[in-house]
């Protein structure tokens, strides 16, 4: 028994004081990736989250699917899924949770964080005060856990504000903006008209439904919106509303853009609950949807998913022009690729379109200066609060883009602690490559960055392999596919002329088939906006296998498209086989991301017009059975010395000619080796949404599953059942050797593929 008597002065409660190298405030995907990245580099990290679960908008409390540059695979950003920790998380989720259960995603995120010995995790803990040692330096944060009644006094050398609303930056006095900049401020043509369209994106609450198999009555609560269809015109619009959809499909249930999305958040939540229950009352009780009589509400979000609030002023502010022009930056550490996606501030009550999305032709780099300000020297901003205009934030705010930036600031924090410098050190041109190389070595992709790490011993090694796949195209083993939409085989960069080619096909009637050779106007892009050559192939009814050649000389520094223009009379041969860096794309639509086959923005918007050529999801994907008269040399072993470890301007990998293969590295002198990193193919073209979508297989088909690594005759590592892109092998002690040998094996009949090795 515990008993305490009356204390006249009251009690002060329990206090805990602690000190860390880095304090990360905010346990969404940005904060998680920041904390894990920093902890793995050996510094002491405290991750503070004000909710009982991790994940933020991706958690089971909100249930937004995490997306980034892949944009549901509905844009031209091929092989663009974010790498590093966020890729590790999404790949793990497919392996453990391919149905997309949000509760299991919570567990996975918690598991990832708790597995890191250098992270102290504080859930249900809210930061309410910041202490400074100088006007430009944060010394500590004060936080409160209302469940355990503990007050925390936590100090650190560095702080990362990944809180979504920027609570640390706000309390520390850092400059910020809320709302849209005027068009004249940055010359952004897409700047909204503030009075009519508004300046802020609102919040959203989702709901899930299930069929009980028996009639279910719904009596709405008194606060539910009455006669919802009178106020929400989208309930009468089939482009937005369907009785059998739920979850993320209701992204347009949005409110709060005319309010202060921080200080008015409780009122916004109440109105969103009123709307959700009003919509469900309409579905259940309007009499228009008798098929829903056996359905019940399974879940309603407990907190809104927030899109926009404060944006802090960094050393650089990302703008619309940076996105559209894909401007290069010397300090690029991350990238985005979601459309510039603005919503009317009136949200669900707006009578017009629920969003206004315009895409760029490819991914765009994000500089480190967007995450660092001038005023608080030991603070970095992560996630949607990073330095951007309202327009640019319409793209950079999405979760995988934010998480990718979180990895960058986590790595920067670790390097800063080890070096005894502040984050501004890595905003300087002469210093930032150290950060960029460290990020790329962890699996993070930085568009346009191709610097080689001088410490990587692979660049001085002689490479020999047991075999190399000579790519001659695909056979026709999956029948024929109607050419209802224009289709193209997308090929890694080839210098010179393509060899002659053919494809099996069927023609219903005599017709002309138009075949084009296209490329992108910008190296590294996958928008086929340049037509190099066109052929008109005359077809008779029935099956044939026409042969043709293109005379164009290819640059070799970008992908090319062999395009077959839509023809209702023609069906093309297809295959179920895959090859790394090769895919088939279609000039189809994806309305979810405002892809209607072609983008034709208003001339005054500042965006470009172009066609969309997108792949199908893995469950439905086929390749066109194009065959070449002679093989393409695209999978040579020298690709392993390419610092870009994914398809980008070329295939970027070594591909063997069989499922089992051997790679050897040899040096003239003994090398001291402490760590090795292997990079495999987890198909960066797949979006891997975290919830609701689902996958029919737990492992990407081209990923090496089993491998053994030897130094001479000594086994260094053996792995069976791999499914991750990045495998880091930290040896217990340095090994001296003149030889490394990697033996890889795929249990399926798929050629062994390795993208890169780092040897240090």
Query: Could you read off the pLDDT of 741-755 as tens digits, one per residue?
Result: 999 998 888 999 999
Residue corresponding to tokens 């985005």: 336
Kindly report, residue by residue over 49-80, the tens digit of the pLDDT.
Answer: 999 999 999 999 999 999 999 999 999 999 99
Q: How confident is the model at residue 13 (pLDDT cuts 50, 70, 90)?
A: confident
Q: What pLDDT sits at residue 595?
A: 87
- Model confidence band, residue 244 (pLDDT cutoffs 50, 70, 90): confident
Query: How far apart are alpha carbons 229 and 426 in whole angstroms?
Result: 53
Q: Which pLDDT belongs to residue 194?
A: 87
559-584: average pLDDT: 97
The chain-wide mean pLDDT, for the chain, equals 96
The three-point CA angle 459-431-26 to 5° equals 105
pTM of the model: 0.97
Instruction: Provide, rounded to the nearest whole percent, the portion of the chain with pLDDT above 90.
Output: 93
Give the Cβ contact number of residue 180 at 10 Å.
25
Classify burial at 330, counting beta carbons within 10 Å of its beta carbon; exposed 0-12, middle 13-18, buried 19 or more. middle
State residue 747's pLDDT score.
Answer: 81
Helix (H) or strand (E) holding 728: strand 726-745
The confidence score (pLDDT) of residue 680 equals: 97
- What is the rounded average pLDDT of the residues 188-215? 94
Q: How many CB atoms lie within 10 A of CB 489?
A: 22
The Cα–Cα gap between 746 and 739 comes to 23
Mean pLDDT of 336-364: 96
The confidence score (pLDDT) of residue 592 equals 86
* Arithmetic mean of pLDDT, 381-386: 97
8 A C-beta contact, residue 44 and residue 118: yes
Question: Quick one: pLDDT band at residue 172, thresholds 50, 70, 90?
Answer: very high
Residue 572 reports pLDDT greater than 90:
yes
Report helix, strand or coil for 340. strand
Q: What integer is the mean pLDDT of 156-174?
A: 98
Q: What is the 3-state secondary structure (H, E, C) of 486-543?
A: CEEEEECCCEECCCCEECCEEECCCEEEEEEEEECCCCCCCCCCEEEEEEEEEECCEE
H/E run at residue 563 = strand 560-564
Q: How confident is the model at residue 539 (pLDDT cuts 50, 70, 90)?
A: very high
Q: What pLDDT shows up at residue 558?
A: 95
Tokens of residue 219, six digits: 């009596």
| pLDDT in the model for residue 735 | 96
C-alpha span between 96 and 173 (Å, rounded): 43
Cβ neighbors of 623 (< 8 A, separation 6 or more) are 474, 489, 574, 575, 577, 578, 579, 582, 583, 584
| 208 three-state secondary structure | strand
Backbone phi, then psi, for 403, in 5-degree steps?
A: -65, -40
Per-residue pLDDT band for 422 (boundaries 50, 70, 90) equals very high
Q: Give the integer Cα–Cα distance in Å for 61 and 301.
A: 6
Residue among 342, 314, 318 at smallest CA distance from 166: 314
pLDDT tens digits, one per residue of 289-346: 999 999 999 999 989 999 999 999 999 999 999 999 999 999 999 999 999 999 999 9
Roughly what angle, to the nearest 10 degrees, separates helices 102-114 and 85-96? 130
- Higher-confidence residue: 4 or 731? 731
Mean pLDDT calculated for residue range 195-207 = 95
| Residue for token pair 């089939």 | 238
DSSP 645: -
How does DSSP classify residue 347? Answer: G
Stretch 547-574: mean pLDDT:
97
* CA dihedral for 338, 339, 345, 347, sign (positive or negative): negative
Q: Euclidean distance between the first and final Cα of the chain, in Å?
A: 59
**Length of the chain measured in residues:** 760
As a whole number, mean pLDDT of residues 443-448 equals 96
**For range 101-119, the mean pLDDT:** 98
Which of the four pLDDT bands, split at 50, 70 and 90, describes residue 694? confident
Q: What is the pLDDT of residue 693?
A: 87
> Pairing between strand 14-25 and 627-632?
unpaired
The predicted pLDDT at position 384 comes to: 97
The pLDDT assigned to 329 comes to 98
The predicted model gives 506-535 an average pLDDT of 97
Tens digits of per-residue pLDDT, 256-268? 999 999 999 999 9
Helices (H), 232-335: 265-285, 320-324
Give residue-wise pLDDT tens across range 615-629.
999 989 999 999 999
- Cα separation, 416 vs 424, in Å, equals 9
């Amino acid at each position: 028994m515990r008993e305490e008597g009356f204390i006249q002065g009251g009690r002060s409660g329990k206090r805990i004081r602690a000190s860390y190298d880095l304090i990360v405030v905010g346990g969404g995907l940005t904060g998680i990736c920041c904390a894990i990245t920093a902890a793995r580099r050996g510094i002491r990290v405290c991750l503070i989250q004000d909710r009982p679960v991790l994940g933020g908008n991706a958690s089971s409390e909100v249930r937004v699917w995490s997306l980034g540059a892949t944009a549901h695979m509905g844009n031209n950003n091929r092989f663009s899924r974010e790498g590093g920790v966020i890729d590790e998380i999404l790949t793990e989720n497919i392996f453990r949770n391919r149905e997309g259960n949000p509760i299991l995603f919570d567990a996975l995120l918690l598991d990832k964080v708790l597995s890191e010995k250098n992270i102290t995790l504080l859930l249900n803990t809210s930061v309410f005060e910041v202490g400074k040692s100088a006007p430009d330096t944060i010394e500590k944060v004060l936080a409160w856990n209302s469940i355990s009644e503990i007050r925390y006094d936590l100090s650190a050398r560095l702080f990362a504000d990944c809180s979504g609303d920027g609570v640390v930056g706000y309390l520390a006095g850092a400059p910020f903006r809320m709302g849209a900049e005027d068009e004249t401020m940055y010359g952004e043509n897409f700047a909204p008209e503030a009075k009519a369209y508004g300046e802020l994106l609102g919040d959203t609450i989702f709901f899930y439904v299930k069929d009980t198999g028996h009639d279910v009555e719904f009596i709405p609560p008194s606060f539910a919106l009455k006669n919802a269809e009178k106020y929400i015109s989208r309930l009468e619009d089939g482009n937005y509303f369907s009785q059998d959809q739920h979850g993320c499909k209701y992204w347009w249930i949005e409110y709060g853009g005319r309010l202060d999305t921080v200080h008015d958040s409780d009122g916004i939540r109440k109105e969103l609950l009123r709307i959700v229950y009003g919509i469900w009352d309409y579905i259940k009780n309007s009499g228009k949807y008798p098929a829903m009589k056996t359905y019940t509400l399974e879940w309603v979000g407990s907190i809104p998913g927030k899109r926009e609030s404060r944006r802090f002023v960094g050393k650089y502010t990302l703008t619309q022009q940076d996105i559209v022009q894909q401007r290069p930056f010397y300090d690029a550490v991350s990238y985005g690729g979601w459309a510039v996606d603005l919503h009317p501030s009136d949200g669900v009550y707006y009578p017009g379109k629920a969003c206004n999305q315009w895409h760029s032709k490819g991914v765009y780099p994000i500089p480190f200066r967007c995450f660092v300000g001038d005023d608080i020297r030991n603070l970095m901003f992560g996630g949607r609060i990073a330095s951007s205009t309202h327009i640019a934030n319409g793209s950079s705010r999405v979760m995988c883009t934010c998480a990718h930036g979180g990895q960058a600031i986590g790595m920067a924090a670790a390097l800063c602690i080890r070096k005894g410098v502040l984050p501004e050190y890595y905003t300087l041109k002469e210093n930032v490559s150290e950060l960029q190389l460290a990020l790329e070595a962890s699996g993070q992709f930085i568009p346009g960055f191709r610097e080689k790490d001088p410490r990587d011993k692979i660049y001085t090694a002689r490479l020999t392999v047991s075999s190399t796949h000579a790519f001659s195209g695909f056979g026709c083993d999956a029948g024929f596919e109607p050419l209802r939409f224009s289709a193209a085989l997308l090929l890694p960069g080839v210098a010179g002329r393509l060899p002659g080619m053919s494809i099996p096909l069927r023609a219903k009637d005599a017709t002309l088939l138009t075949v084009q050779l296209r490329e992108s106007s910008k190296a590294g892009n996958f928008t086929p906006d340049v037509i190099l050559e066109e052929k008109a192939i005359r077809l008779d009814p029935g099956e044939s296998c026409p042969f043709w050649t293109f005379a164009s000389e290819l640059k070799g520094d970008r992908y090319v498209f062999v395009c077959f223009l839509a023809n209702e009379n023609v069906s093309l041969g297809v295959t179920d086989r895959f090859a790394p860096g090769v895919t088939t794309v279609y000039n189809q639509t994806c309305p979810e991301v405002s892809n209607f086959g072609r983008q034709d923005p208003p001339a005054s918007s500042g965006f470009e017009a172009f066609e969309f050529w997108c792949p199908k999801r893995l469950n439905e994907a086929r390749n066109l059975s194009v065959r070449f008269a002679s093989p393409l040399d695209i999978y040579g072993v020298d690709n392993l010395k390419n610092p870009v470890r994914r398809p980008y301007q070329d295939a970027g990998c070594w591909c063997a000619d069989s499922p089992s293969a051997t790679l050897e590295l040899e040096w003239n002198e003994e090398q001291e080796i402490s760590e090795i990193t292997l990079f495999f193919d987890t198909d960066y073209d797949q979006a891997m949404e975290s919830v609701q979508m689902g996958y029919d297989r737990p492992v990407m088909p081209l990923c090496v599953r089993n491998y053994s690594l030897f130094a001479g005759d000594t086994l260094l590592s053996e792995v069976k059942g791999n499914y991750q892109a990045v495998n880091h092998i930290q040896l217990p002690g340095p090994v001296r050797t003149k030889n490394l040998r990697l033996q890889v094996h795929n249990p399926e009949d798929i050629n062994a593929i390795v993208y890169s090795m780092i040897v240090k």
